[in-house]
Amino acid sequence: MTTQNTNATGRIVLGQNQYGKAEVRVVRVTRDTERHAIEDLNVTSQLHGDFLSAHTEGNNEHVVPTDTQKNTVYAFAREGVGSPEQLLLRLADHFIGDFDWVTGGRWAAEQYAWDRINDHDHAFVRNNREVRTAVVHADGQQRTVIAGVEDLTVLKSTGSGFAGYPKDTYTTLAETDDRIMSTDVKARWRYTTTDVDFNAVYTDVTSILLAKFGEKYSTALQQTMFDMGSAVLEAHPEIAEIKLSLPNNHHFVVDLSFAGLDNPNVVFYAADRPYGVIEATIRREDADDASAVWATVPGFC
Ligand SMILES: O=c1[nH]c(=O)c2[nH]c(=O)[nH]c2[nH]1
């Protein structure tokens, strides 16, 4: 229960604030040769700093327009992207370096992949397998980079069960040692350094997550999730922690007895809701506390 302060006389002040341009869609074509390449991003720029008088006095002399922030994203893309993390780090250095009162900020990106059509030089098909994510949080000279992946939908048609759980009056779920397990992998991992080959590590982390999902018999999504996250930390010392949020995309065996048919795990009803939701942070025991940065990355525990 919260109690109400009935004689609140304290001054009203501006608390935490940030502002910027959300979802700047930028497609960068690299066309130095006839074989083009595409980088397709959705970038958000938000500044932290001394913006008090803009809020309390209507004084805009510190307010770098959100329109300028959008233009800066496009201008920096002209110089090259490389990786979403590198682009965001350059944006952070620029805004903090060029404007005295900008002390930090949050820059975020999603990246969408395009594959070549039949190895064509300049025709592509969008690969909707997953969305890559990146966040750079800057505070003075400090940079924190959090990379991620989402909408990576996976399924295994056997090699998963769920049993041994407590039962009470409300339990109807039957134990099983053979079920479908499916989830949409959503993960974010925090680097301890900016000296990273971000594209190479992204590729390796996603391939580890996929391999571990399939690798061994799963007694629960919780166990599989911990295996997936642990394997990423084991392979990558430059990652301090990884957060996973995994919906349990339930597949129910359909009772076909109305037609006189058995159903030995062949025909399933893919429910879209409700779904289990299994989440964890898997971390090195001695990892530093980055909870203030994680607070800017919603959707995880
Ligand atoms: O992998 C699972 N974890 C659970 O916590 C759970 N709960 C449930 O009903 N089914 C499952 N499956």
Q: Is the CB of 248 under 6 A from ligand 1?
A: yes
- Is domain 17-139 annotated with CATH 3.30.565.10? no
3-state SS of the chain is CCCCCCCCCCCCCCCCCCEEEEEEEEEEEECCCCCCEEEEEEEEEEEEECCHHHHHCCCCCCCCCHHHHHHHHHHHHHHCCCCHHHHHHHHHHHHHHHCCCEEEEEEEEEEEEEEECCCCCCCEEEEEEEEEEEEEEEECCEEEEEEEEEEEEEEECCCECECCCCCCCCCCCCCECCCCEEEEEEEEEEECCCCCCHHHHHHHHHHHHHHHHHHCCECCHHHHHHHHHHHHHHHCCCEEEEEEEEEECCEEECCCHHHCCCCCCCCEEECCCCCEEEEEEEECCCCCCCHHHHCCCCCCC
Regarding the beta carbon of 173 and ligand 1, being less than 6 Å apart is answered yes
Over residues 266-292, the pLDDT tens digits come to 999 999 999 999 999 999 999 999 999
Is the beta carbon of 277 within 6 A of some atom in ligand 1?
Answer: no
Average pLDDT on 199-218 reads 98
- Which residues fall in the annotated binding site? 66-67, 162, 179, 222, 248
Q: Which pLDDT value is given to residue 7?
A: 63
Q: Is the CB of 161 under 6 A from ligand 1?
A: no
Structure confidence by residue, pLDDT tens digits, 101-141 = 999 999 999 999 999 999 999 999 999 999 999 999 999 99
Please check the confidence at residue 301 and state whether its pLDDT lies above 70.
yes
CATH architecture, domain defined by 141-301: Roll (3.10)
Nearest CA to ligand 1 atom 2: 220
Q: Taking the model in full, what pTM does it have?
A: 0.95
From 62, 66, 103, 156, the catalytic residue? 66
The segment(s) of the chain belonging to CATH 3.10.270.10 are: 17-139, 141-301
Nearest residue CA, atom 12 of ligand 1?
A: 220
Average pLDDT over residues 173-185: 98
Atom of ligand 1 minimally distant from the CA of 221: 1
